């Protein structure tokens, strides 16, 4: 590896030691000169490694003492408890509350902690404008004509390369493009289930998915989920052995809202388990590219040998939410997916799909996503620090290693729907925990999006949220 990138490898190694508890708050780190000798790198490379860790608030510089692990890590809050949903027929989503959240997050006069995407300031607007201009020139009819049913051929070629980076071997002719990830998931559900069928999911789960399940007449089985490692495999196996499950939907990497990421061995085991019961897995990998570590986590699709994993994603959380560019690698269900797309949409949006293909072609995606990951990681640590400083001591908070969200668990006496109403009066929008389940749970929890530019105002609004708890 070139020395220009060695600093990231060194920083990643030290970060890993901190995350595993091998280095704890206040521990003294080797001097810059010692790092140079250990890794056989220049002084500037060693300094860049430490600067990277400082920017993530993981270490700090002490005058005349060198570098130490940040002291704020001493006061880190506990993790949220593993969820424990009941095996009952659930109720319904609070559509009025969900609608209120959606309406408020479009109001740029409020602090949008409930937003489900990075702030527009973090998106590559200029590069996208050039990509759109190029698409108009490239396309027959300047983008006014229908594209093929499977989707833009240039985009699918780049997506095949994208899948390779996730560990999956998917050819361009095995991919179907869609109008965003939720649209992709909807096609997958229609291809694998019918009204009255049962679907197993994580709990908590994104409220948009819960509404989609209900609109399709599906019975939702919510399963215990760990804030770090995702769905509890034993609980999934128990459900599969006890009743007929027609499909399973999992957010394998940095889930919404918990931020959990399944270890690769869990993904492999889940794919094997579902294959045994002949249950298709709809995988939502919307956040997989937003990892904080050195390597992108694999998808469940990487372990799919039977074509039973339908892997969905989009650029909505990384580049352009409004472009509605998504895709599916549907495995053995491709024929059904293509037919559903033809009936429901005929084709994808020609202009934006070609623009994203152009953006991939220029290398703009890799450059942008690298910067975005760094910003989101720094934001995540800043949010965590502020919540640690200002919220009650019994607050619990997730520790995502990627994605966009923090899951905050408060004292059971606190109702976050009430907090939502109070916060809205103060021009702050949160996502209360109630909307992430069809059961009566998570009433003392909330989801916060750290995809907003960190600022003094953001910190003050987090402090105000804490004050509204009392």
Domain stops at, among 333, 363, 393: 363
Residue 55: band (very low, low, confident or very high) from pLDDT cuts 50, 70, 90: low
Of residues 73 and 345, more confidently modeled: 345
pLDDT in tens, 415-430: 999 999 999 999 999 9
Structure confidence at residue 74 (pLDDT): 57
Q: Are residues 115 and 148 in the same domain?
A: no
Cis peptide before 204 (omega within 30 of 0): yes
Nearest by Cα to 8 from 240, 277, 292: 292
Mean pLDDT of the chain: 92
Strands 396-397 and 431-432: unpaired
**Stretch 309-330: mean pLDDT, rounded?**
97
pLDDT for the residue 1: 38
Q: What angle do CA 354, 356, 357 make, to 5 degrees?
A: 60
Task: State the pTM of this model.
Answer: 0.86
User: Is the pLDDT confidence value at 321 over 50?
Assistant: yes
DSSP structural state of residue 301: G
pLDDT of 3 over the 70 cut: no
Min mean pLDDT across 99-108, 121-130, 330-339, 441-450 is at 99-108
Which band of pLDDT confidence, cut at 50, 70 and 90, is reported for residue 2? very low
**Single residue among 344, 363, 382 that ends a domain in this structure:** 363
Q: What is the C-alpha to C-alpha distance for residues 146 and 30, in angstroms, rounded to an integer?
A: 60
Range of the domain at 385: 95-121+366-468
Q: Is 245 in the same domain as 282?
A: yes
**Of 363, 388, 403, which residue constitutes the final position of a domain?**
363
Pick the more confident residue, 281 or 63: 281
Number of domains in the chain: 3
Average pLDDT over residues 447-452: 97
In a domain, 87, yes or no: no
Where is average pLDDT lowest: 99-113, 230-244, 312-326, 357-371? 99-113
pLDDT tens by residue, 258-311: 999 999 999 999 999 999 999 999 999 999 999 987 789 999 999 999 999 999
Whether residue 86 is contained in a domain is answered as no
Alpha helices (H) along 220-332: 233-242, 264-276
Q: What mean pLDDT comes out for the span 62-87?
A: 79
Mean pLDDT of 403-420: 97
In a domain, 89, yes or no: no
Residues 340 and 205 in one domain: yes
At 75 the pLDDT is 60
Report helix, strand and coil shares of the chain as percent, to nearest 5.
Answer: 45, 15, 40
Q: Which of 319, 300, 312, 199 is CA-nearest to residue 248? A: 199
Q: What is the pLDDT at residue 267?
A: 96
Q: Are residues 145 and 190 in the same domain?
A: yes
Q: Is residue 83 part of a domain?
A: no
State residue 73's pLDDT score. Answer: 56
Residues 262 and 385 in one domain: no
Q: What pLDDT is stored for residue 53 in this prediction?
A: 83
67 bridge partner residues: 61
Contacts of 63 (CB under 8 A, 6+ apart): none
User: What does the pLDDT average to over 237-244?
Assistant: 95
**Model confidence over 182-217: pLDDT tens digits?**
999 999 999 999 999 999 999 999 999 999 999 999
- Indicate if 138 and 258 belong to the same structural domain: yes
CATH of the domain at 405: 3.90.1150.10
Q: Give the domain CATH number at 260.
A: 3.40.640.10
463, 386 in Cβ contact below 8 A?
Answer: yes
Candidate from 63-67, 244-248, 255-259, 283-287 with smallest mean pLDDT: 63-67
Terminal Cα distance for the chain, rounded? 53
Same structural domain, 275 and 235: yes
Using a pLDDT cut of 70, give the percent of the chain over it. 96
The arithmetic mean of pLDDT across residues 355-375, rounded, is 92
Specify the pLDDT at position 89. 65
Q: CB neighbours (10 Å) of residue 146? A: 10
């Amino acid at each position: 590896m070139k020395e220009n990138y060695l600093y990231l490898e060194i920083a990643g190694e030290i970060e890993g030691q901190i995350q595993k508890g091998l280095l704890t708050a206040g521990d003294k780190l080797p001097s810059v000169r010692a790092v140079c000798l250990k890794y056989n790198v220049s002084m500037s490379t060693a300094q860049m490694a430490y600067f990277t860790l400082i920017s993530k608030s993981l270490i700090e510089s002490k005058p005349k003492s060198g570098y130490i692990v940040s002291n704020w890590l001493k006061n880190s809050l506990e993790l949220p408890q593993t969820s424990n949903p009941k095996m009952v027929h659930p109720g319904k989503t609070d559509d009025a509350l969900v609608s209120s959240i959606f309406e408020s997050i479009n109001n740029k006069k409020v602090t949008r902690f409930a937003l489900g995407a990075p702030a527009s300031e973090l998106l590559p607007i200029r590069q996208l404008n050039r990509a759109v201009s190029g698409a108009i020139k490239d396309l027959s009819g300047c983008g006014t004509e229908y594209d093929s049913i499977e989707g833009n051929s240039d985009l699918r070629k780049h997506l095949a390369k994208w899948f390779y980076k996730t560990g999956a071997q998917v050819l361009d002719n095995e991919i179907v493009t869609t109008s965003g990830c939720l649209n992709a998931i909807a096609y997958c559900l229609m291809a694998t289930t019918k009204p009255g069928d049962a679907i197993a999911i994580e709990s908590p789960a994104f409220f948009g998915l819960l509404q989609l399940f209900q609109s399709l007449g599906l019975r939702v089985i919510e399963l215990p989920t760990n804030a770090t490692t995702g769905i509890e495999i034993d609980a999934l196996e128990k459900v599969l052995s006890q009743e007929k499950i027609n499909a399973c939907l999992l957010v394998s990497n940095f889930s919404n809202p918990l931020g959990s990421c399944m270890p690769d061995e869990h993904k492999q085991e889940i794919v094997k388990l579902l294959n045994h019961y002949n249950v298709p897995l709809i995988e939502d990998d919307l956040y997989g590219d937003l990892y904080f570590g050195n390597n992108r986590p694999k998808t469940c699709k990487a372990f799919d040998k039977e074509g039973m994993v339908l892997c969905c994603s989009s650029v909505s959380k990384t580049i352009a939410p409004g472009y509605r560019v998504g895709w599916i690698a549907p495995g053995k269900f491709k024929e059904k997916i293509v037919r559903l797309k033809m009936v429901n949409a005929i084709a994808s949006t020609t202009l934006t799909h070609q623009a994203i293909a152009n953006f991939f072609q220029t290398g703009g995606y890799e450059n942008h996503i690298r910067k975005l990951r760094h910003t989101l990681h720094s934001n995540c640590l800043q949010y965590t620090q502020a919540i640690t400083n200002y919220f009650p001591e019994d607050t619990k908070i997730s520790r995502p290693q990627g994605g966009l969200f923090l899951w905050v668990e408060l004292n059971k006496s606190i109702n976050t729907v009430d907090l939502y109403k109070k916060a809205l009066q103060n021009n702050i929008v949160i996502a209360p925990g109630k909307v992430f389940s069809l059961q009566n749970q998570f009433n003392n929890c909330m989801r916060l999006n750290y995809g907003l530019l960190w600022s003094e105002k953001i910190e003050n609004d987090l402090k105000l949220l804490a004050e509204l708890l009392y």
